[in-house]
Amino acid sequence: MPPDTALATAAALTTAVSTTPVSSSPSGPRVVAAVRLEGVTKVYGTGRETVAALDSISLEIEKGDFTCIVGASGCGKTTLLNLIAGLDEPTSGEIEVTGRTALMFQESALFPWLTAAGNVELALRLRGVGRRPRQARARELLELVHLGGFADKRPHELSGGMRQRVALARALAQDADVLLMDEPFGALDAITRDVLHDELERVWRQTGLTVVFVTHNVREAARLGDRIVLLASRPGRLAAEFNVDLARPRRIEDSGVTTLATEVTEHLRREVARHGRVH
């Protein structure tokens, strides 16, 4: 290929990328799965005292997708995230993750001896980023979550919502491809949670991350997800899947969100009732 043709092709590619909005809905062009689980089973304990946390879960999550995992207590949500994050090994089955993962918890899990900026910088430092670029990048990430003015505050000086935003900035500092979130807004008040939904959606849109978001709040799942995966409890098993075809950006009050949430809740209730009948 002559050099000028190559240049032209490159230019055409650039144009194509900048004019076409990047689609992240499942209906978009098929890409490699960011996360692929096949027959994943996790059993805790040995001998007679075993507890099956997850039972043959097969799931494929596409790159750039926002997947919400919903379930009642004991559905193994946290176990599932731990497995995807590589913090734990499955008893059987296969897990494939393209790229790296970052994990956010229900509590911010910020290091109390470090400032907001220090927490973000530590994530960069552990990735081997040098001092100068580290400081600049930490500042950038805090500004991304609208906390540029709070870089020197320590976690205890921040509200729960602010801490979760610092935790988000810290997770983003890991430069991961897949962001795993374990009920990150579960402990927040309603208004803060609503605003953080908007904030998370914006960050996700800007970064193009693949997000796996675990929650027991069905409405939250309908508000945020491209897809909702419902897990049955004890042991955790795939119960149902919902594709969310609602336009973005959404609001939690949207009628579409409400309708979908009602439908998912129905499933969830039936699932929970099943356990009541057994005993």
> How far, in Å, are 128, 275, 278 from residue 49 at the CA level?
43, 20, 20
Q: How far apart are CA 69 and CA 214, in angstroms?
A: 5
User: For other proteins, which residue of 157, 241, 245, 266 counts as binding (CB under 8 A)?
Assistant: 157
Residue 169 and residue 139 in contact, taking contact as beta carbons nearer than 8 Å? no
User: Minimum distance between the CB of residue 56 and other proteins, rounded to whole angstroms?
Assistant: 26
User: Minimum distance between the CB of residue 225 and other proteins, rounded to whole angstroms?
Assistant: 17
Question: What token pair was written down for 188?
Answer: 């927040």
Q: Which one, 132 or 277, has the nearer CB to other proteins?
A: 132
269 interacts with other proteins by CB under 8 A: no
> Which residues, other chains included, contact 13 with Cβ-Cβ below 8 Å and sequence gap of 6+?
none
- Give me the helices (H) in 107-159, please: 116-125, 131-144
**Among residue numbers 171 through 230, which ones bind other proteins (CB under 8 A)?**
172-177, 191-192, 195, 198-199, 202, 205-209
User: For other proteins, which residue of 131, 251, 270, 274 counts as binding (CB under 8 A)?
Assistant: 251
273 interacts with other proteins by CB under 8 A: no
With contacts defined by CB under 8 A, name the span among 25-33, 167-175, 222-230, 265-273 that binds other proteins. 167-175
Residue 147 and residue 116 in contact, taking contact as beta carbons nearer than 8 Å? yes
144 interacts with other proteins by CB under 8 A: yes
Residue 39 and residue 92 in contact, taking contact as beta carbons nearer than 8 Å? yes
| Helical (H) or strand (E) element with 196 | helix 190-207
Number of other CB atoms surrounding residue 217 within 10 Å: 16
**Among residue numbers 89 through 128, which ones bind other proteins (CB under 8 A)?**
99, 102-103, 105, 107, 109-113, 122-123, 125-127
User: Where does this chain bind other proteins (CB under 8 A)?
Assistant: 18-19, 21-22, 85, 87, 99, 102-103, 105, 107, 109-113, 122-123, 125-127, 140-141, 143-144, 146-147, 150, 154-159, 161-162, 170, 172-177, 191-192, 195, 198-199, 202, 205-209, 247-251, 254
